């Protein structure tokens, strides 16, 4: 198979991470969770650093911080994600990753629209806000965080709003993206739908 880039975008907690990992494993290509880059910059901002400087100096170690999962960091991520200089500082790393010779899966908000507009396959993974909040709640409780449904739903909605309405690289499906609504799909069915969509695109 020739090298190819798979762009997977969608709103907060839509299941992009799970699907992206499984798709990357299935096709034997590398995976980059681009949300981690913004979360790492957001975490630095919460510690008092300037977000633009933090984005320019981001290191691999910054992505290992276990606190990056928290809702507080997620909110900070979506705030720094509005800043054009932050997005610009993270662009080259993402594009270089996408061009790996073995092919790559990148997941985020603007992969199909801005980072890799020529990606061979683009998926837009979505689900209702309530379902996304329920799934994210289970994930956070599983990791030992103390939170509740209302708080998680509020976080998801606030980030969706900020992500969709920012001027620079707003969240929206690329024109040639295949949309997968996972509201009524379990994990296995969502992964199967994503793999089928990739195969259909590559065959066509």
List residues near ligand CDP by CB under 6 A. 12-13, 16-17, 34-35, 38-39, 74, 77-78, 81, 108-110, 159, 163
User: Is 22 or 74 the residue whose CB approaches ligand CDP more closely?
Assistant: 74
Closest to ligand CDP by CB, 117 or 202: 117
* Nearest distance from C-beta of residue 149 to ligand CDP, angstroms: 15
Decide: 58 and 37 in contact? Cβ < 8 Å. yes
Q: What number of other Cβ atoms are within 10 A of residue 17's Cβ?
A: 17
Contacts of 174 (CB under 8 A, 6+ apart): 7, 9, 112, 113, 117, 122, 124
Residue 60 Cβ vs ligand CDP, minimum distance, rounded to whole Å: 17
**Nearer to ligand CDP among residue 55 and residue 74 (C-beta):** 74
Cα distances from 12 to residues 15, 62, 155, in angstroms, run: 8, 21, 9
Of 17 and 117, CB closest to ligand CDP = 17
Residue 153 backbone zone (phi > 0: left; psi -120 to 50: alpha; other: beta): alpha
Shortest Å distance, C-beta 204 to ligand CDP: 26
Instruction: Provide φ and ψ at 129, rounded to 5°.
Output: -60, -40
Least distance between ligand CDP and beta carbon 152 (Å)? 10
Instruction: Find the shortest distance in angstroms from Cβ 201 to ligand CDP.
Output: 21
Angle at the Cα of 82 (from 76 to 85), degrees rounded to 5?
Answer: 110
Least separation in angstroms between residue 170's CB and ligand CDP is 9
Q: Is the dihedral of CA 69, 73, 78, 84 positive or negative?
A: negative
CA distance 104 to 112: 13
Quickly count: other Cβ atoms within 10 Å of residue 83's Cβ: 17
Q: Which is nearer to ligand CDP, 91 or 192 (CB)?
A: 91
Nearer to ligand CDP by C-beta: 150 or 199?
A: 150
């Amino acid at each position: 198979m020739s090298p190819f880039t798979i762009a997977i975008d969608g709103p907060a907690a839509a299941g992009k991470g799970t699907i992206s990992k499984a798709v990357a494993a299935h096709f034997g290509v590398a995976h980059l969770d681009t949300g981690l880059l913004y979360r790492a910059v957001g975490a630095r901002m919460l510690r008092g650093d300037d977000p633009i400087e933090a984005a320019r100096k981001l290191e691999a170690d910054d992505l290992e911080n276990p606190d990056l999962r928290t809702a507080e960091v997620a909110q900070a991520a979506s705030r720094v994600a509005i800043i054009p200089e932050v997005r610009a500082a993270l662009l080259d790393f993402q594009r270089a990753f996408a061009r790996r010779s073995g092919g790559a899966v990148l997941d985020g908000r603007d992969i199909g629209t801005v980072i890799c507009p020529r990606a061979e396959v683009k998926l837009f993974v979505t689900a209702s806000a309530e379902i996304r909040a329920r799934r994210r709640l289970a994930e956070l409780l599983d990791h030992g965080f103390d939170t509740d449904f209302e708080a998680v739903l509020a976080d998801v909605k606030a980030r969706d709003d900020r992500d969709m309405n920012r001027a620079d690289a707003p969240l929206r499906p690329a024109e040639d993206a295949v949309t997968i609504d996972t509201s009524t799909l379990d994990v296995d069915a969502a992964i199967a739908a994503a793999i089928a969509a990739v195969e259909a695109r590559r065959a066509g």
